Structure 1
Amino acid sequence: MIPKLLFAGRLAREYILLPEGAPILDRPGGSPLYAAGAASIWDKDIAILARVGEDYPNQWLRQFTEHGISPEGIQIAPRALDLRSFRAYSKTLELSRSNPVGHFARRELTFPKALLGYRPPEEKELINSDPHPATPLVTEIPNDFLQAQALHIAPLEFKSQGQLLAAFRAASDKIITLDPSPRYMIPNRLQELRFILEGLTAFIPSEEELRALFWGETHDLWAMAEELGGFGCQLIIVKRGKEGQLIYDVDAKKRWELPAYSSRVADMTGAGDAFCGGFLAGYQQSEDPLRSAAYGNVSASLSMEGSGPFYPLGVLPGLAQARLEALIDLIQEV
């Protein structure tokens, strides 16, 4: 199968404490899955490129198929892999990803044995420079997947993202978008980003990541976008959470602002990934950066109203399209 939309990245087994309600214990998640789930609102023929261990539940892989997401690109390593991901949200939606014991204790909840010995993946990456064992390998990419029409690479190690880009660029011309890892969005890695951005369709960092990259140089987000645009990328999309997105078209030298669609927030997990998934689906259909950003914006709004990577697929028919048309009229050139 040659997928229309392909999402590469690391899957996760989620443990989440929301501001209210029962804890979420061991649910499928991860950036590529949230992106794929959001893209499924708009299109089909979607696949994931990832690695999991032999302990990954088979029923979850079947669940992906039931939601129209092919698991054919998910390689199963012949050993168990630690894919645990913990998040705790306060009543003001502040996020913590460490000290699960303390969070469960403060809420007077029984601590799950499955989280014993947990350490955030970010801490492990600081200690170990080798790729995470769940990072997809170039050598394991199915041949048909190299012909995918559009590819999104979720946050991974710098070297791993570069290797995936090289493999897909060599195979054929395609739409490629990339969400960077905050681990390498630091000032002394700025010039190295040329290897990532050259020929990229869209680079999609968060505002926090972009500011960290240009720390001590400028506070102007548009100036940051322009400098990165000089590295050979077509579009710079800045995710700004509740403030929406900034869109910079490098060749046209045009700037736009798109406000976030106002919606209730039940769970913020994966909202940025949902934006990336919606954007890729929109761009594959239209190659219109503004309409594509609106696709992503709507996808993020739907994702946050519920919980889990498949929640957007269960919303009322026509809701996504109605929000899309409302948002397009709100895009403003700066």
Structure 2
Amino acid sequence: MTPSSAVTIFGSLTIDDLVFSDGSTRWGVPGGCAVYAAMGAMLWTSQVKIVAPLGPDYPAESLDKRIDLSHCPPATHTLRNWGLYEEDGRRHFVSRSASRDWAKFCPSPVDAIAAHQALAHVAPMPRALAVELIEELRRVGAESISLDLDDHDLLASSELDATVALIRKVDLFIPSRQDLHAIFPEAGPLEGLRRLRTFAPDVTLIAVKCGAEGVIAHVAGAPEWVRIPAIPVALADATGAGDAFCGGTLAGLAEAQDPVEGLLCGVVSASFCVEGLGFSGMAAATEEKAKDRLTMLRQLVEAHPF
């Protein structure tokens, strides 16, 4: 499946040391929100570009050769994180001391020229930087922008107005349940979705990632909200599943020109992500398997009055 426009992912590349809720660990794992989003998008398009500072210590050779890294600005070293996972699905990433200035490991507004192909996903990054980047993306002609916020930034700020102003600048807003809780601490996912829609009525699609429970979403102007379950697969590693969902959703929407179909593509991308360690699940995915899962998932979409 190849939409007419390439997808560009703006985010960061990382090397992570992971501690899981069962006590198991994985050290020195190449990752980053940009890579997982790109891999999720690649199921639905052959044209994916990453724009993220690239350090000489990042094993770029481990990435799929179809991912274009030619627009990655150089970095002195790669962002290094501790990743801590809890039993309820929450995750906490803490940068090591040499990587504490997160903005240095994110693309700057001048890198927005790489999105001339019109489809851009802005992965988690400091909010002030996301604002500047999105504004520049619009200026250079990006037609469809998706956004995944960072819950650390949300928890550190009580400025709801500033968050809403940012959401209104994009076409697809795709927070996690954890992000939504940071915005509306007293609201559950559905109530949070309703509040977001009240604040941002013109955003084409608002979708809340609910982990193993799937996704709930609302399309602008629709009388119903939708729930799409997660595909039941053997869980190997949930790292990056939310990012894979974001990339798959943007690419799928571009291919099908239908928001719900885009969501289905996102869920399929996430299902392949969790089946393997690191990138291996998505690397092993085939177009035939993706189509089979998409066909099955279409039968499971629920619609409820909004």
Name the TM-score, length of structure 1 as normaliser. Answer: 0.80
Give the secondary-structure state (helix, strand or coil) at the position aligned to 1:6. Answer: strand
2:150 equivalent to 1:151: no
Give the C-alpha shift of residue 270 in structure 1.
0.4
Post-superposition CA distance 1:259-316 (Å, at most 9, x none): 1111111001001001001101101111211111110101111100101135312135
Q: Give the whole-Å Cα distance in 2 for the aligned partners of 1:312 and 1:321.
A: 14
Q: Which residue of 2 aligns with 1:32?
A: 34
Q: Which residue of 1 aligns with 2:77?
A: 80
Q: Which residue type is aligned with residue 241 of structure 2? A: A
Q: Give the whole-Å Cα distance in 2 for the aligned partners of 1:253 and 1:94.
A: 31
Of the three residues 297, 303, 306, the one matched with 1:333 is: 303
Q: Which residue of 2 aligns with 1:165?
A: 134
Q: Give the whole-Å Cα distance in 2 for the aligned partners of 1:95 and 1:182.
A: 11
Q: Which residue of 2 aligns with 1:69?
A: 67
Sequence identity percentage: 26
Of the three residues 210, 221, 239, the one matched with 2:192 is: 221
Q: Give the whole-Å Cα distance in 1 for the aligned partners of 2:285 and 2:47.
A: 20
2:167 equivalent to 1:197: yes
Q: Which residue of 1 aligns with 2:289?
A: 319
Q: Which residue of 1 aligns with 2:7?
A: 5
Q: Give the whole-Å Cα distance in 2 for the aligned partners of 1:268 and 1:218.
A: 22
Give the secondary-structure state (helix, strand or coil) at the position aligned to 2:175. Answer: coil
Q: Give the whole-Å Cα distance in 2 for the aligned partners of 1:250 and 1:322.
A: 28
Give the C-alpha shift of residue 153 in structure 1.
0.5
Give the C-alpha shift of residue 227 in structure 1.
2.3
Is this contact kept in 2: 1:34–1:309, CA < 8 A? yes
Is this contact kept in 2: 1:67–1:310, CA < 8 A? no
Q: Which residue of 1 aligns with 2:110?
A: 139
Q: Which residue of 2 aligns with 1:103?
A: none
Is this contact kept in 2: 1:87–1:95, CA < 8 A? no
Is this contact kept in 1: 2:54–2:74, CA < 8 A? yes
Give the C-alpha shift of residue 86 in structure 1.
2.4
Q: Which residue type is aligned with residue 40 of structure 1? A: M
**Cα distance 1:94–1:200, how it changes in 2: closer, same or farther (>3 A)?**
closer
The unaligned stretches of length 5 or more in structure 1 are: 99-119
The unaligned stretches of length 5 or more in structure 2 are: none
Higher alpha-carbon deviation: 15-24 or 175-184 = 15-24
Q: Which residue type is aligned with residue 38 of structure 1? A: G
**Cα distance 1:244–1:123, how it changes in 2: closer, same or farther (>3 A)?**
farther
Post-superposition CA distance 1:113-135 (Å, at most 9, x none): xxxxxxx139999xx7x652101
Is this contact kept in 2: 1:38–1:310, CA < 8 A? no
Q: Which residue type is aligned with residue 192 of structure 1? A: A
Of the three residues 13, 16, 33, the one matched with 1:14 is: 16
Give the C-alpha shift of residue 328 in structure 1.
1.1
Give the C-alpha shift of residue 88 in structure 1.
4.7
Is this contact kept in 2: 1:40–1:313, CA < 8 A? no
Q: Give the whole-Å Cα distance in 1 for the aligned partners of 2:194 and 2:91.
A: 31
Is this contact kept in 1: 2:265–2:294, CA < 8 A? yes
Give the C-alpha shift of residue 224 in structure 1.
2.2
Give the C-alpha shift of residue 28 in structure 1.
1.8
Is this contact kept in 1: 2:7–2:49, CA < 8 A? yes
Name the TM-score, length of structure 2 as normaliser. Answer: 0.87
**Cα distance 1:68–1:236, how it changes in 2: closer, same or farther (>3 A)?**
same
Give the C-alpha shift of residue 155 in structure 1.
0.5
Give the C-alpha shift of residue 183 in structure 1.
2.3
Of the three residues 255, 259, 284, the one matched with 1:289 is: 259
Q: Which residue type is aligned with residue 185 of structure 1? A: L
Q: Which residue of 2 aligns with 1:117?
A: none
2:270 equivalent to 1:300: yes
Give the C-alpha shift of residue 188 in structure 1.
2.2
Is this contact kept in 1: 2:33–2:124, CA < 8 A? yes
Post-superposition CA distance 1:132-188 (Å, at most 9, x none): 2101112244x4x23123110101101110111011101114111000110233572
Q: Give the whole-Å Cα distance in 1 for the aligned partners of 2:35 and 2:61.
A: 13
Of the three residues 117, 121, 135, the one matched with 2:95 is: 121
Of the three residues 241, 252, 257, the one matched with 1:271 is: 241
